[in-house]
């Protein structure tokens, strides 16, 4: 069992503008990391993402960046038990990383396809549960990015 997923969204802005909205910590914090991001997503660095509606620091390691085209990240995997889910508790750190790949494809001068894929969970029920949550989270991020960059609205505000 290879636990992985990919979500995507078409965004009506030029590719470099969409890429920069993810790469730049001030822009990213405008719609996604609403508690702040410690720095830009430069290759080889570790940054901290914070969410106003989610407790704690989220360390993110930037593995590879192709400006305007691709960002590869790693972060700590967590696994949800059935009890965690029923009791609305945070997942348990699992002791390994998953890989996130964001791809930015130009569909024309004013249109970009953003694909976000995550992989690397262990083949356990807890990891499968966690992958569903992350899939939901990345689709939410893509929707928030679209609304923020196209309309200037922070969709995440008050969402959780």
pLDDT of residue 7: 98
Q: Is residue 59 situated within a structural domain? A: yes
Q: Is residue 36 situated within a structural domain? A: yes
Q: Is residue 159 situated within a structural domain? A: no
What domain count does the chain have? 1
Q: Is residue 136 situated within a structural domain? A: yes
Q: Is residue 54 situated within a structural domain? A: yes
| 8 Å CB contact between 149 and 18 | yes
Q: Is residue 158 situated within a structural domain? A: no
Up-side HSE of residue 34: CA atoms within 13 Å toward CB? 19
Query: Domain span at residue 119?
Result: 3-151
| CATH code (residue 102) | 3.30.530.20
Q: Is residue 146 situated within a structural domain? A: yes
pLDDT in tens, the chain (160 residues): 788 999 999 999 999 999 999 999 999 999 999 999 999 999 999 999 998 877 789 999 999 999 999 999 999 998 876 655 555 556 667 789 999 999 999 999 999 999 999 999 999 888 888 898 899 999 999 999 999 999 999 988 777 6
3-state helix, strand, coil in the chain (%, to 5): 30, 40, 30
- Residue 160 in tokens: 């959780």
């Amino acid at each position: 069992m290879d636990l992985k997923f990919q979500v995507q969204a078409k965004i009506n802005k030029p590719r470099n503008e969409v890429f920069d909205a993810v790469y730049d910590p001030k822009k990213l914090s405008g719609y996604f990391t609403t508690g702040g991001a410690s720095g830009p997503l430069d290759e080889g660095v570790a940054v901290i993402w914070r969410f106003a509606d989610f407790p704690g620091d989220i360390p993110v390691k930037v593995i590879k960046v192709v400006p305007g085209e691709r960002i590869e990240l790693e972060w700590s995997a967590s696994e949800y038990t059935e009890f965690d889910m029923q009791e609305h508790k945070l997942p348990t750190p699992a002791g390994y990383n998953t890989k996130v790949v964001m791809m930015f494809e130009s569909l024309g001068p004013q249109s970009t396809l953003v694909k976000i894929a995550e992989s690397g969970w262990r083949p356990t029920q807890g990891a499968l549960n966690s992958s569903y949550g992350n899939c939901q989270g990345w689709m939410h991020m893509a929707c928030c990015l679209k609304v923020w960059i196209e309309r200037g609205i922070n969709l995440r505000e008050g969402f959780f």
